[in-house]
Structure 1
Amino acid sequence: MDKFELRREILRERSIMDTDDRRESARRIRETLLDQPWVQMAGLVACYWSTGTEPATEGLVFALWKHGATVILPVLRDDDDLDWAVYDGPDTLAPGRHGIMEPVDTRRGVDTIRTAALVIVPALAVDPHSGVRLGRGGGSYDRALARVGPNVPTVALLNEGELRPGVPAEPHDQRVRYAALPSGIRVIPVKEST
């Protein structure tokens, strides 16, 4: 299956998911993540404000912030790269490009993600063997993930059934190290280069 077909299939599956199931799935993902010591110790967390049928992140962002983490959220630039700004509570957001909520704080620059101790990204699917992440196709998160150090935990939030072996990969596609699902955290094996 190519990327277009896989995207279409997962978006269709998400669209028919029951609202209560979607809410419970997001709650379980949030609680699972917040139980991880490496999440609790992260001082600067790059996350995102979910939209549509993505696993909801509003509660996660708020909980990280309330527990003392500095949370940065993306601001989509005109060139489709991601700038970053600090989240300082729900009243500090406004609709950005494409209507996605963004912080109104000062833009910190595309390289700000390099300083994050934890990076949480959206995904439609992740290959459990390689960590290849299927996004929406714009490449914004691939550019951002390329700036993240190799030892920083990168986590994709998924619903059950969205870990998919054989996710198509292109040279620019960046991998994630973890997948957070309602059933728990999946560690993606890191393959050493030869």
Structure 2
Amino acid sequence: MNENPHTAASTKAELRRELLAARRALSPDACRAAAAALAARALELPELADAHTVAAYVSVGTEPGTRDLIDALRAAGKRVLLPLLLPDNDLDWAAYEGPASLAEAAHPGKMRLLEPSGPALGPDAVTGAEAVLLPGLAVDGRGMRLGRGGGSYDRVLQRLERAGAHPALVVLLYDDEVVARVPEEPHDHPVRAVATPSGVFRFRLDF
């Protein structure tokens, strides 16, 4: 890898600021329309269609909406796991049992999240998923993902790697968040596919 990690980290921070500002400028109507279209596109992915268990997440604010998608996955008979944020920023998991099973959770210093209210299954529960939906801000043509920088999903990816698990990694984005190049650091992992409101992008990965 040629890029200096310190340079990559600072460039990532700048790109995150730009992308988050663009998301904050989206209207509620635009977010709702994008979420409906995104669910339809994501459901076209064979990685999701063929999965028995999907690890997903509940979108917040102006993130690309996931509520339509997780409801559609559950209606299709799939087991959907949703994250519970732990104090150290790691993630536990619980099964999604429908909209009424979500409860608002307050975490000091962080935005309020909707989390499943069912029994916690342990951080390793994600290793049983055939597909994992990752939040992100951008993905480039190599499948490299730019996350929000909190580190929670870096831990998830490390856990999958330690377990020898290779679920399909899928990122949900807005159309203009598929970019030419994302700054890369040694711990970054490529993803299998990206779904946006207007289409899907798939990447060939060598494990």
Q: Normalized against structure 1, the TM-score is what?
A: 0.92
Overall identity of the aligned pairs, in %:
44
Q: Which range moved further: 34-43 or 100-109?
A: 34-43
Letter in 1 for 2:61: G
- SS for the counterpart of 2:23 is helix
Letter in 2 for 1:173: D
Q: Which range moved further: 143-152 or 61-70?
A: 143-152
Q: Which runs of 5+ in 1 are unaligned?
A: none
Q: Which range moved further: 147-156 or 36-45?
A: 147-156
1:182 lines up with 2:178 in the alignment: no
Deviation at 1:151, TM superposition (A): 4.0
Q: Distance in 2 between matches of 1:145 and 1:181?
A: 22
Alignment check: 8 A CA contact 1:146 1:174 kept: no
- Matched residue, 2:188: 173
Q: Distance in 1 between matches of 2:73 and 2:103?
A: 19
1:128 lines up with 2:137 in the alignment: no
Alignment check: 8 A CA contact 1:92 1:105 kept: yes
1:54 lines up with 2:73 in the alignment: no
- Equivalent residue in structure 2 for 1:78, among 83, 87, 106: 87
| TM-aligned CA distance change 1:78 to 1:60, over 3 Å | same
1:44 lines up with 2:56 in the alignment: no
- Equivalent residue in structure 2 for 1:69, among 64, 78, 87: 78
Alignment check: 8 A CA contact 2:38 2:65 kept: no
Aligned residue pairs: how many?
191
- SS for the counterpart of 1:146 is helix
- Matched residue, 1:146: 158
Q: Distance in 2 between matches of 1:146 and 1:132?
A: 15
| TM-aligned CA distance change 1:108 to 1:144, over 3 Å | same
Q: Distance in 2 between matches of 1:58 and 1:93?
A: 11
Deviation at 1:184, TM superposition (A): 1.2
Q: Which runs of 5+ in 2 are unaligned?
A: 1-9
Deviation at 1:55, TM superposition (A): 0.6
RMSD across aligned positions (CA): 1.6
Letter in 2 for 1:154: L
Q: Distance in 1 between matches of 2:148 and 2:75?
A: 30
Q: Distance in 1 between matches of 2:50 and 2:135?
A: 21
Alignment check: 8 A CA contact 1:134 1:167 kept: yes
